[in-house]
Structure formats: C-alpha cells, structure tokens
C-alpha cells in the first residue's frame, strides 16, 4: 500500500476519533448479530418454501478464454414472489474443480465484457467465475416495494439480492467443475453491502469481498467523517432495507447501540476483504478502514482479513481485483499461478 495514502487514512481516523465515541464493543455471538441486523437493518430473509431450481440452459466452449461457459437459470424468492434469473458461469479448461468468484453485477447478464468483471484474469489464476445481474432478481427502484404491505422488519432489496447469491451457491454445490469449499462473493458499492450481508449469513461463502461498500456496508457509522448518513440512505433508498432501518436509526449515526464491525466480524473465521478508494468520500474510506480495524480482533488469524485502499474514485478496478485474487492466493486457493 502506498505510504502516503496510508498515512492520510490514519490521520483522518485519528482526527475522527477525537470527534466521536468509541464504537460499541464487538459482539461475539454471530447468531445474535445476524438476527439483530435482519430485524433492524436489512430485513428478515424468508423461511417460506419455494421451488429451488437451477437448470443449465446452455453450455458452450469459449476458445478466447480457454473456458466453458454455462448459462444457468436459477429460481429464487423475492419480496414480490418467486423469480428466475440467469447466472453466467465461466470454468477454465484443464482444471477438475476450481474455486469460484461470484460477482454480483450492475450490468445485464447478457453482457460479458465489463471492466468490473475481469473474466480472463480470474480464469488465469485457475479459478472460475459466475455473475448475475442484481436487477434480474429485483428492480433497484425506490418504489419497487410500495405495492406490498411491509412490516417493520420485512426484507428489502439488499436481503433479496443476498438471498439470490445463496441460490447461486445451491447450484454450485451440484456443479462438478466447482470447488464448493472455495466460493467467494464479490460486490461493489450497494452490491458490496449486499456481498457483506450475504457472506455474513451464509457460511458457504468462504470469502467475502466488500468493495467501496460505504454506509451500511463495511464502514463504521460512528467513524463517518463526511460521507453518506443513515438518514440520507434510508430516505433515498428505502427499498434496500427493512423499514426499521430508517425508523430506528435515522439521525443516530454517532450514538448507535451497534455498528457495522459487528456484521464484518460475523464473517470470521472465513476470509474477509474490505476495499476502499481514496477519493470515494461518500463511502468514507477512513470509516471503512476503521471498520476493518475494529472487526479484526474477531479473527485469530489476522491474515484472513484484508484491507486495502487504492488511489482514485468509487469503482471496482483491476487493481482491486488483483488485491482480492492475491488475498485468495495467499490463503492457498489456487494451484495455478
């Protein structure tokens, strides 16, 4: 990490610390933490039964990637009922079972070339990658849930997208080309919040990546210097959360009885990576760094939680992907270089 950036972040944290109280103690009980966040922030994921189905609808060779591409139609549940979405999967040739990086995408699943999803770089490590478009699961519109009656703890879009990511894992557990013990969930920004919530809830994610995830992602509310507040996020994006999130916490960012490091700690002892960008003031990189710092004691092995900050804007770049792939490599995920 660039020393100048690191020092700037430390200084910002130190400055911030003088202004606000210490975040609440790290709560070690994972089950309690998850039910707290389900009830009071993101909304409860359903226990209702539905048709769990994943059908491979197309399999083809992709010579330019030396890979096999499979399109899988997966059924999930959303607050608006059952929904089927496509996941696009790339498995590198010449490997029996490979680790898998699931990338939740902003872009339509029909689009492959995408700077936020470096398929070739991932495959070159001897890993597979799967992507699905979040809006194929539930539209990202403030009024998308206005047509239904919502309880204070009803699930919002972040829970619905995270639930869908777990349905991708259901499929991967049946896929002979996938090593289901090494599945990573990767998301950027609102989808970084989603990846964190998915990774905290579903232990089948062996690695969780929250890139520039900001408010209600891997960033402490109590260390927010100048970025997005709870009031702003719950007013602009009410559909992302349970109604409780705005009702209970709006305006209370610096006096909450919890903070986001609890949720990050719920990922332990599995692998966790938090990524910031220096100019991403809205997400507040010092608050993301502080979230790493305060959650890290939950890991006995500190090499299992990674933090990086790169120069530049709010984005998921090849620099970030390299960091995440190197982190996986250090934890012995790949047999290829």
Which parts of this chain interact with ligand GCU (CB under 6 A)? 189-190, 214-215, 228, 233, 282
Smaller CB separation from ligand GCU, 207 or 233: 233
**Alpha carbon distance 318, 25 (integer Å):** 35
The distance of closest approach from Cβ of residue 241 to ligand GCU in the complex, given in angstroms and rounded to an integer, is 11
- Nearer to ligand GCU (CB atom), residue 33 or residue 277: 277
Q: To the nearest whole angstrom, how small is the minimum distance from the Cβ of residue 76 to ligand GCU?
A: 21
| Nearer to ligand GCU (CB atom), residue 43 or residue 214 | 214
Active site residue 261: no
Asked whether the beta carbons of 265 and 301 are under 8 A apart, the reply is: no
Give least dist CB 233 to ligand GCU, A: 5
CA distance 40 to 48: 20
User: Which one, 186 or 215, has the nearer CB to ligand GCU?
Assistant: 215
Q: Which is nearer to ligand GCU, 116 or 190 (CB)?
A: 190
Minimum distance of ligand GCU from residue 171's CB (angstroms): 26
Find the length of the chain. Answer: 337
What is the 3 state secondary structure string of the chain? CCHHHHHHHHHHHHHHHHHCCCCCCCCCCHHHHHHHHHHHHHCECCCCCCCCCEEEEEEEEEHHHCEEEEEEEEEEEECCEEEEEEEEEEEECCCCCEEEEEEEECCCCCCCCCCCCCHHHHHHCCCEEEEEEHHHCCCCCCCCCCCCCCCCCECCHHHHHHHHHHHHHHHHCCCCCEEEEEEEEEEECHHHHHHHHHHHHCCCCCEEEEECCCCCCCCCHHHCCCCCCHHHHHHHCHHHCCHHHHHHHCCCCCCCCCCHHHHHHCCCCCEEEEEEECCCCCCCHHHHHHHHHHHHHHCCCHHHEEEEEECCCCCCCHHHHHHHHHHHHHCCCCCCC
Q: How far apart are the first and last CA of the chain?
A: 22
Q: Smaller CB distance to ligand GCU: residue 90 or 321?
A: 321
Q: How far is the CB of 224 from ligand GCU (least distance, A)?
A: 12
User: In terms of Cα–Cα distance, which of 142, 314, 112, 321 is closest to 217?
Assistant: 314
When the beta carbons of 91 and 241 are compared against ligand GCU, the nearer one is 241
Q: Name the residue with tokens 């408010």.
A: 215
User: Least distance from C-beta 262 to ligand GCU, angstroms?
Assistant: 19
Residue with tokens 């890290």: 296
- Catalytic-role residue among 131, 189, 229, 295: 189
Least separation in angstroms between CB 113 and ligand GCU:
21
Tokens of 197: 């919530």
Q: Is there a catalytic annotation at residue 221?
A: no
Catalytic residues: 189, 314
């Amino acid at each position: 990490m660039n020393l100048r950036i690191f020092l700037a972040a430390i200084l910002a944290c130190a400055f911030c610390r003088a202004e606000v109280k210490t975040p609440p103690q790290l709560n070690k009980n994972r089950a309690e933490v998850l039910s707290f966040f389900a009830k009071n922030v993101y909304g409860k994921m359903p226990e209702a039964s539905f048709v769990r189905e994943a059908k491979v609808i197309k399999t083809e060779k992709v010579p330019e990637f030396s890979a096999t591409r499979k399109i899988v139609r997966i059924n999930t549940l959303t607050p608006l009922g059952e929904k089927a979405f496509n996941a696009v999967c790339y498995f590198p040739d010449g490997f029996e079972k490979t680790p898998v990086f699931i990338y939740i995408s902003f872009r339509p699943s029909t689009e492959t070339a995408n700077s936020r999803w470096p398929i070739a770089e991932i495959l070159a490590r001897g890993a597979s990658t799967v992507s699905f478009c979040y809006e194929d699961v539930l539209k990202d519109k403030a009024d998308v849930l206005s047509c239904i009656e919502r309880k204070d703890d009803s699930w919002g879009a972040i829970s619905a997208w995270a639930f869908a990511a777990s349905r991708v894992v259901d499929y991967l557990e049946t896929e002979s080309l996938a090593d289901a013990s090494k599945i990573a969930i990767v998301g950027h920004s609102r989808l970084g919040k989603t990846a964190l919530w998915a990774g905290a809830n579903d232990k089948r994610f062996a690695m969780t990546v929250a890139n520039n995830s900001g408010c209600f992602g891997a960033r402490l509310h109590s260390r927010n210097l100048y970025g997005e507040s709870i009031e702003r996020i719950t007013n602009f994006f009410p559909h992302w959360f349970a109604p409780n999130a705005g009702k209970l916490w709006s305006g209370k960012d610096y006096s909450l009885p919890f903070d986001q490091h609890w949720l990050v700690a719920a990922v332990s002892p599995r692998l966790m990576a938090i990524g910031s960008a220096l100019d991403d003031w809205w997400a507040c990189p010092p608050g993301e760094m502080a979230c790493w710092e305060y959650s890290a004691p939950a890991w006995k092995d500190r090499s299992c939680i990674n933090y990086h900050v790169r120069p530049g804007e709010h984005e998921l770049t090849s620099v970030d992907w390299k960091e995440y792939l190197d982190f996986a490599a250090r934890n012995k995920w790949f047999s290829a270089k």
